[in-house]
Structure 1
Amino acid sequence: MEAPERARLLWQCRRGMRELDLLLQAFAEAEIEGLDAAEKAAFEGLLARPDAELAELLLGASEPMDGTTADVVARIRTAARP
């Protein structure tokens, strides 16, 4: 992944909710370089969602519809665990 693209995704991980910042930044720092094209597209789709909807997905109040997004959500949840 090119440096400007990586920087753009890392910047988009900064949200209006501290909880989302922690979840997304932990995942991005650990795994962003290893995402394949489908996973990257799913991650970008997650970042395009409003904070409230994204929080519901990442905190388990709702589940994503498609498999790739569900896998990325599970990886985000795992990356944030100590």
Structure 2
Amino acid sequence: MTGTTRSSGDLDVRRKRLLFQCWHRGTREMDLILGQFADAEIGTLTDHEVDELEQLIELTDHELYAAVTGDAALPAQFQGGLFERIKTYGNMDRDA
């Protein structure tokens, strides 16, 4: 996979920027985790969730990846809600 499979034509500027940033993290693992989540969910995120995602992607790839894999915890303000959706997104069986 080389990147987004979603068109950004129907997105506002903020969501377009986030979609790009989620696919261009710096490590391929986080590109895939955040990018695939963003492809599927960016158009339906609430404004509050967009705020959360903007803050979340300010963390380093090392911090995010360690939290996704369960090797470390994120700071309290990032735990729950949106991060839990991102964390479990890759483990969902979409064919079921």
Shorter-chain TM-score tier: 0.7 to 0.9
Q: Aligned runs of 1:23-38 on 2, under 5 Å?
A: 23-38=33-48
> Which segments of 5 or more consecutive residues in structure 2 lack a partner in the other structure?
1-9
Call closer, same or farther: CA 1:9–1:23 in 2, change over 3 Å.
Answer: same
1:57 aligns with 2:67: yes
> Which segments of 5 or more consecutive residues in structure 1 lack a partner in the other structure?
none
Q: TM-score, normalised by structure 2?
A: 0.69
Structure 2 distance, partners of 1:70, 1:63, is 11
- Aligned residues: CA RMSD: 2.0
CA offset at residue 58 of structure 1? 2.1
1:10 aligns with 2:16: no
Secondary structure at the aligned position of 1:15 is classed as coil
Q: TM-score, normalised by structure 1?
A: 0.79
RCO higher in 1 or 2 (8 Å CA, sep ≥ 6)?
Answer: 1
Q: Percent identity?
A: 36
Kindly name which structure, 1 or 2, has the bigger radius of gyration based on alpha carbons: 2
Aligned residues of 2:15 and 2:50 also touching (Cα < 8 A): no
Which residue of structure 2 lines up, in the alignment, with residue 45 of structure 1? 55
Structure 1 or 2: larger helix share?
Answer: 1
